[in-house]
Amino acid sequence: MYQNSRLRRSAQVTRKRRLPKWPFALLALALLVLVGSCIFVSRAGDHQPANGYQAPKKTSFNKQKYSLSDPTSPWVVVNKQRQLSPKTYAPANLTTPNMDATDDEQVNAPVAEALKTMTDQAKAEGVTLSLASGYRSYDTQVSVYQSEVKAYGQAQADRESARPGHSEHQSGWAADLAAASGKCRLQACFADTPEGKWLAANAHKYGFIIRYPKDKEAVTGYLYEPWHVRFVGIELSTEMHRTGTQTLEEFFSLSAAPSY
């Protein structure tokens, strides 16, 4: 009896030891794959990381957000083909920016705030920018334009100065900047100064664009003016910088304005 019992137990042990191992290995592998897949799906669908940061959703740029014809709009496009309406328009919220200025120049309030922020940062980086020209009334632009015509003839004046009612300066959204030293003031060589280089590289961060870029006269109608900045807001200036689009006409698919 004892011997038979030992033989039965021995046979059972032998049978257990002889069970194949590969089904258990496959089962374990399947479980690992299943658990891993669940973790991956869970993490892929988690839009709120542990640090609380939520990545912004990618959306297309809304080119209809602001008017391109209303002079109170920061996106108003003023050129030789697009006159201010009314022609003698004058901004209602002009203010003097708290920055170095040649004279007591004024611009629209949002422009003044952006200029202050931008020039403060420039100064912190060793670059001092001053405001050479801001808002010009319709009557002032009459005098400026006529002086240009008298000095250089109408054809050349039209390449350098806007006719009354067609000036960005009259809108209050534009500004001419200069080096505090006065070097290359309102000249193309401003682009080669430390101030001009800083402005070209950083203006878009504060809502500005260089309105009349180099080699774009056929589009804008004006010679290269590296000192002339136009406030359009950070949203638009950033998008134009991101896409490498230099002019408002090209960005909004408007007709070029080389002449009146």
Which pLDDT band holds residue 189 (cuts at 50, 70, 90)? very high
243 in the same domain as 134: yes
Residues 101, 195, single domain; the answer is yes
Residues 132 and 8 in one domain: no
The predicted structure's pLDDT at residue 211:
98
Mean pLDDT of 212-240: 98
Q: Do 12 and 106 reside in the same domain of the chain?
A: no
**pLDDT of amino acid 224:** 98
In this structure, are 36 and 134 located in the same domain? no
Predicted confidence at residue 21, as pLDDT, reads 57
CB atoms within 10 A of CB 20: 7
Token pair belonging to 146: 């006529």
H or E stretch including 221?
none
Residue 34: domain span: 2-44
Beta bridge partners of 116: none
Residue found by looking up tokens 């180099």 in the block: 214
Provide the pLDDT for residue 42.
44
CB 113 within 8 A of CB 207: no
Q: Give the residue numbers marked as catalytic.
A: 225
Instruction: With respect to residue 74, please indicate whether it lies within any of the assigned structural domains.
Output: no
> Cα 9 vs. chain centroid, distance in angstroms?
83
> Do 131 and 21 fall within a single domain?
no
Distance CA 214, CA 220 (A): 10
What's the distance, Cα to Cα, between the start and end of the chain in Å?
Answer: 120
At residue 6, the pLDDT reads: 44
**Domain match, 24 and 118 both:** no
What whole-number distance in Å separates Cα of residue 29 and Cα of residue 210? 62
Q: Among 225, 159, 218, which residue's Cα sits nearest to residue 191? A: 225
Arithmetic mean of pLDDT, 196-212: 98
77, part of any domain: no
State the pLDDT at residue 45: 41
Handedness of CA 152, 155, 160, 164 (dihedral sign): positive
The CATH number assigned to the domain holding 194 equals 3.30.1380.10
- Average pLDDT in the 139-163 region? 98
For the entire predicted model, the pTM comes to 0.77
Give the per-residue pLDDT at 103.
77
Find out whether the peptide bond into 164 is cis, omega within 30 degrees of 0.
Answer: no
Regarding whether 215 and 120 lie in a shared domain, the answer is yes
Residues 133 and 234 in one domain: yes
pLDDT digits (tens, 9 = 90+) for 32-44: 555 455 444 344 4
Distance between CA atoms of residues 80 and 221, nearest Å: 7
Q: How many domains does the chain have?
A: 2
Residue 259 forms part of a structural domain: no
Could you give the CA distance from residue 209 to residue 204 in angstroms, rounded to a whole number?
6
Say which amino acid occupies 246.
Answer: Q
Q: How far apart are CA 208 and CA 212, in angstroms?
A: 12
